[in-house]
Structure 1
Amino acid sequence: MRRPITRALTGALALASAAALAPLASPAPAAADSVIIGGAPVRSADTPWVVALSSRDRFGGIRAGQFCGGVVVAPTKVLTAAHCLGREVLGTAVSEVRDLRVIAGREDLRAPGGQEVPVQHVLIAPAYDPRTSSSDLAVLTLASALPVGHVIKTAARGDAANTPGTAAAVYGWGDTTGAGTYASALRAAPVQVQPDTVCARAYPGTALGGRYTPATMLCAGDAKGGHDACQGDSGGPLVAQGRLIGIVSWGSGCGRADSPGVYTRVSEVLPTVADKL
């Protein structure tokens, strides 16, 4: 088993990739170790709750500084993965990133339009453990409110949307092939919620990889392979039955039948920070 990786790129890798691709017409890679594999383009007008996290200072300007995804759960609140805001991704403390923003209402990162809203405050879930990726969740407070129509409902404990076999979709601007082919336009891939036993078998916890923990993690993927999140999709939403059920967190490879995606289980982890929403 290959070592599980988070789905966010580091600042150094993103800038190096951007420099390498600058003379070309194709877009530069994003900054996250996750990507939408086997997906299709979607319109931001149909998915206004999907946002991009951006820092041009850390990740360059070719793709508007995108390095992770996020999801709007209140007019001034965005959820993302806690690991997106760590030193390993940003290359510095998040408090030192002066131009941290969310980009809303813009499906093509190279195009104008939409809104770029500064992040005013960052809250990491109190139980987040960067060694195990448990409770991989952060809440961003925006400097100004987005329209109420941008907000998506979140799944509560016991929600049927978390049931194995439920059809879901994962959204992001990440790698679309697993080989560094990053999208500039928002994409979505169809997946299914998988039984916890599937991810427990894929990620038992070894010297080479992490352990799947059902209490804070959700398993989703394609039993036949070919559909998944990938580099650049970290922090993005997993949605089922019109509700947010997961946040892209980590996995092994992209689109592999034997290695489903691991998501932060929103119904269990969000209540630990609900008083901040």
Structure 2
Amino acid sequence: MRRSLRSLPVLAVPLVAALMMVLTAPAPATADRVVVGGHPARTVEAPWTAAVASRALFGGKRSGQFCGAAVVSPTTVLTAAHCLSRAVLGMDWRQVRDLRVIIGRNDLRKSDGMEYPLVRVWVNPAYEADNRAGDIAVLTLGVTVPAAYTVPMAAGRGDPAYRPGVRAAVYGWGDTGGGGEYASTLHAATVRVLADTVCRTAYPGNAEGDYQPRSMVCAGLPDGGRDACQGDSGGPLVAQGRLVGLVSWGSGCGVAGRPGVYTRISAVAGLVAAHG
């Protein structure tokens, strides 16, 4: 996906955590993207924005954060399947003993907010790294969080929040410039939901990616400049007060003609209900 967990290639790959559009040929992206062209945000304004972390694998400087996530119920958190892949973690996710979800921590260098252990992890077995379809994982918390920390999911494909041109915001702690400058504090960028025809033109199934409208949605600006990036993978795309997507992949960060691609929440709602 475009934004990958670590510092994978640039976007035609998933964008992993918040650590992580036409110039020449942009390198494929990974799961790490950060918010490019954005502005500082606060978790109090978007309390459902969470970080997926492991200090054992990624160190303690930024609380071990490697991906983003969205809290959709008092015990259910969503992130990207590619965030928990061997390519990102270097091992099977079941071997990561300190996997945590951090909620309410604006500055990853600090210790406020809460760190929640997981009692269950479900990674979509149908996720295909080659075409990036089905990029969803469901994390179940061992402790209930207040309902105020959750964001409702888009009701369905016909939800007006998916209309082309609707303003949306993407949140994360990823790369803020596309050059490896990862943010310690939460950032957000305002983008627009784009028509499937625009997304399909950008990613027609060539080396830069294959946009599949049934399971994906894309967002950005015509001239680029605002986007998720490395380290933002799994983070939320919110429009009209509802979660419409999770940062998944793209080509480059904020490049004109190469919008960010997100897992379409309406396409995976049934999986969330079954495994949340």
TM-score by length of 2: 0.89
CA distance in 1, matches of 2:270, 2:7: 29
Counting only pairs closer than 5 Å after superposition, residues 90-129 of structure 1 correspond to structure 2 as: 90-129=89-128
Q: Is 1:30–2:19 an aligned residue pair?
A: yes
Instruction: String of CA shifts for 1:192-241, please: whole Å, max 9, x gaps.
Output: 000111111111112x2320000000010111111000000000000000
CA distance in 1, matches of 2:203, 2:4: 16
Q: Is 1:187–2:184 an aligned residue pair?
A: no
SS at match of 1:153: coil
Q: Give the letter aligned to residue 52 of structure 1.
A: A
Structure 1 position 273, deviation (Å): 3.3
Find the counterpart in structure 2 of residue 7 from structure 1: 4
Q: How many residues align?
A: 256
Q: Is 1:217–2:203 an aligned residue pair?
A: no
Structure 1 position 126, deviation (Å): 4.3
Structure 1 position 127, deviation (Å): 3.0
Structure 1: 5+ residue runs without aligned partners?
12-28
Q: CA RMSD in A?
A: 1.5
Counting only pairs closer than 5 Å after superposition, residues 1-150 of structure 1 correspond to structure 2 as: 5-9=2-6, 30=19, 32-150=31-149
Q: Tell me, yes or no, if the aligned pair for 1:126 and 1:272 is still in contact at 8 Å.
A: no
Find the counterpart in structure 1 of residue 247 from structure 2: 248
Find the counterpart in structure 2 of residue 15 from structure 1: none
CA distance in 1, matches of 2:161, 2:272: 21
Q: Give the letter aligned to residue 19 of structure 2.
A: A
Find the counterpart in structure 1 of residue 27 from structure 2: none
Structure 1 position 119, deviation (Å): 1.5
Q: Tell me, yes or no, if the aligned pair for 1:10 and 1:90 is still in contact at 8 Å.
A: no
Q: Tell me, yes or no, if the aligned pair for 1:7 and 1:248 is still in contact at 8 Å.
A: no
CA distance in 1, matches of 2:126, 2:164: 25
CA distance in 2, matches of 1:223, 1:61: 38
Structure 1 position 87, deviation (Å): 0.2
Find the counterpart in structure 2 of residue 263 from structure 1: 262
SS at match of 1:198: helix
Q: Give the letter aligned to residue 30 of structure 1.
A: L
Structure 1 position 45, deviation (Å): 1.1
Structure 1 position 33, deviation (Å): 1.8
Q: Give the letter aligned to residue 66 of structure 1.
A: Q
Structure 1 position 10, deviation (Å): 6.0
Q: Tell me, yes or no, if the aligned pair for 1:153 and 1:244 is still in contact at 8 Å.
A: yes
Structure 1 position 272, deviation (Å): 2.8
CA distance in 2, matches of 1:137, 1:100: 17
CA distance in 1, matches of 2:126, 2:96: 23
CA distance in 1, matches of 2:65, 2:261: 21
Q: Tell me, yes or no, if the aligned pair for 1:7 and 1:35 is still in contact at 8 Å.
A: no
| Larger RCO, structures 1/2 (Cα 8 Å, 6+ apart) | 2
SS at match of 1:273: helix
